[in-house]
Structure 1
Amino acid sequence: MAQTDSEHVGTGGLAPQVIESWERRIGVESGNSRAQERVRLSGPDGMQQYWQHVRVSVDDPDGFDSIVYVRQLSLIDTFCAIRTPLRVERDDPLITKEPSDDLIVTVSTLPGRAVVKQGTRDYVYRPGQLVIVSNTAPYVETTHSVSDPSGLVIPRKLLGGESGAGEGVRRPVAGLTSLARATAAFIRQFTSDTAVGHASEPKQETELAAIELVRAALGQLNDDNRPLVNNELFIRQAAADLIERHHRDPQFSPESICRALHISRRQLYRHFESTGESLAALIAESRLRTAHALLLTRADMPVVSVAMASGFPSVATMRNRFHARYNKSPNELRMSSPFRDRSVEEACD
């Protein structure tokens, strides 16, 4: 069940449990975070300092609260933020006073919606959808609940043919395409790794690949469905997304990924050569994780049902995978589960 605004916002701003959950989600508790880079901006002063190129307004200035992790890379900036409801505005006077050609690309995960007004049109963005605005044009973004945007700040000159994007009214990028999912998933992970984590600065090639993903998303807005078969980052992320969503189907295979992405096996495999991982192994690993979770939490499911629900073609295949990975059978793993229902007897293995 989604939390209400009152559950998200404490009497002094963001509720502690919401902050804890968010920081755990972006990797702050991993022991490998840049905690010293954490910036908390609260109250009227925090509103003034929130972002140089925008104006922030809220119904209750004293209740405004935000936490931001940000990092400047060689080409772009990355950030992870959480904030109470607010209105972010960039108008013509501010554009003149604080010129900026940056494109801001964000994605949020918390329940709720953001409304972006450009010109006379309002566009509604929901969790998982890409929000793309340009600092070269007026816009107003309004959120009515706590939001957790993670994003990239990209100089417009790096976008090449899409450098004019964001200046006009733009509909939300469709959330159900491989491109949109891959871009959103990449932004969440990339910002967590760079803005929050202690990861070394990525190579410029990685930043350029990220920019190309954004360019392709902008092209999608313009109905320019150019192929991304040469973008290694996109292919890997899109393949990972397809595996996550379809590995429970025993018919799902690397050929299924090729068909979904409209590329050949040779093209697909080429993008995974440097990883040292095979696509078949990645699919098997996802099935193994699903089976592992079901065995530990669903004592009522027979092992054969676990195998089917996880995408394994047979119990024997799953058993062999378990022995190779855990050096024990599925039943032996289940017997060690703290969630084990001792009243359930299972005859398998």
Structure 2
Amino acid sequence: MTELFRDDVPPAALPPKVIETWERRVGVHRSNIQAEPIRLTGPDGMRHFGQHVEVQTDDPGSFDALMFARQLSMIGTFCSLHTPLQLSRNPRLIEQQPSEDLVIGVHTLEGRHIIRQGSRDFAYGPGQLAFVSNASPYLERTFEINDPAGLVIPLELLGNQRRVAEQARRPVASHTLLARATASFILQFASDTAVGVTEPDPDTEMAAIELVRAALGQLDYDNRQITDNALFVREAVSDLIERHHRDPSFTPNAIARYLHISRRQLYRHFEDTEDSLAARIADRRLKTACELLRTRPDMAVSEVARVSGFPSSPTMRNRFRAELGIGPSEYRARAAAEADAVEDWGSPTS
């Protein structure tokens, strides 16, 4: 192992709490096939961790990983949780185990994550798209526990973006709507399919491939083509709501302006969904308000309404009654009572 990737902190087995959080995030409890992750530990687990790559760690005996993986009709999906490791795809492996696939992934946990392609080292953070071609050498190193989820796409399906996929380059700029939408979609789609929550049809797989192609060709991709992609629009809308719902002036009209499309074109992408865009924004504001009411007893209800993005306290009160059947003050009182009951139950008796 090179000095560049030396880590002075020895890896440890996956803590149960981290596993529980990961399984909840990837939707194990929602699986329709009662899927169980593959558990890979020690030197033998390292040998079986990934296809077409070599795995190294500073302490093979402490290696620990959980993985869901699934082959769909055109692409593969995976989600995993693992202790620190180094993956490499070298010229010898490329010759002995040819693979014409693009691996594109996203992780959510904080920590150092470096990929070396050619003579360059790229650092990747949570939520950034990382893609490597198995047709070229690379080295990937994570220094802390990591939770990648992603797709394995045959290079031949990328069309004129294959050349871009094979280049050594940084992830797509993480501040763009397209990058965030693609990363958000891949994280959810890979987890749902690998775990068995959903059974995608070929059209959905092709839409996922098109979204990846758009991300690869971001610098010169025609924006009109991007906004014709329903997956992109829906993920972009979710991202915009997440970031702007606290602004009382944020409305579906604002979303259309952000995406540079008409309101009619925007609504067309949500015709087959249950909730309207206005309802989605209101529901996100309600979620923020509930969190503040539970965690900030010092904050006045009127301030909670303002910080959550509701235009007024009565508007928030009406939303609470419509969705939860109680007002915000009663919600806060019940939440406090439940918290006290849990605390009392957990206290030792004399």
TM surpasses 0.5: yes
| Mapped contact 2:11–2:84 kept (Cα < 8 A) | no
Alignment of 1:1-349 (within 5 A): 9-10=11-12, 13-28=13-28, 30-32=29-31, 34-199=33-198, 201-220=199-218, 223-227=219-223, 228-338=226-336
| Mapped contact 2:107–2:147 kept (Cα < 8 A) | yes
Residues 139, 9 of structure 1: CA spacing in aligned structure 2 closer, same or farther, 3 A cutoff? closer
Give the whole-Å Cα distance in 2 for the aligned partners of 1:8 and 1:57. Answer: 13
| Mapped contact 1:334–1:340 kept (Cα < 8 A) | no
| Mapped contact 1:297–1:339 kept (Cα < 8 A) | no
RMSD: 2.1
Task: State the TM-score, normalizing by the size of structure 1.
Answer: 0.89
SS at match of 2:299: coil
| Mapped contact 2:128–2:171 kept (Cα < 8 A) | yes
* Counterpart AA for 1:104: V
Name the residue aligned to 1:345: none
Task: State the TM-score, normalizing by the size of structure 2.
Answer: 0.89
How much has 1:286 moved relative to structure 2? 1.1
Residues 145, 242 of structure 1: CA spacing in aligned structure 2 closer, same or farther, 3 A cutoff? same
How much has 1:99 moved relative to structure 2? 0.8
Give the whole-Å Cα distance in 2 for the aligned partners of 1:64 and 1:341. Answer: 38
| Mapped contact 2:99–2:135 kept (Cα < 8 A) | yes
Q: Which stretch shifts more, 230-239 or 44-53?
A: 44-53
Residues 330, 214 of structure 1: CA spacing in aligned structure 2 closer, same or farther, 3 A cutoff? same
Give the whole-Å Cα distance in 2 for the aligned partners of 1:319 and 1:298. Answer: 17
| Mapped contact 2:101–2:134 kept (Cα < 8 A) | yes
Q: Which stretch shifts more, 329-338 or 241-250?
A: 329-338
Give the whole-Å Cα distance in 1 for the aligned partners of 2:11 and 2:34. Answer: 22
How much has 1:6 moved relative to structure 2? 10
Residues 282, 110 of structure 1: CA spacing in aligned structure 2 closer, same or farther, 3 A cutoff? same
| Mapped contact 2:11–2:59 kept (Cα < 8 A) | no
Q: Which stretch shifts more, 15-24 or 186-195?
A: 15-24
Give the whole-Å Cα distance in 1 for the aligned partners of 2:148 and 2:338. Answer: 39
User: Any unmatched runs of 5+ in structure 2?
Assistant: 1-6, 341-350
Give the whole-Å Cα distance in 1 for the aligned partners of 2:190 and 2:51. Answer: 20
| Mapped contact 1:103–1:153 kept (Cα < 8 A) | yes
Identity within the alignment, %: 56
Give the whole-Å Cα distance in 1 for the aligned partners of 2:18 and 2:212. Answer: 29
User: Any unmatched runs of 5+ in structure 1?
Assistant: 343-349
Give the whole-Å Cα distance in 2 for the aligned partners of 1:77 and 1:105. Answer: 11
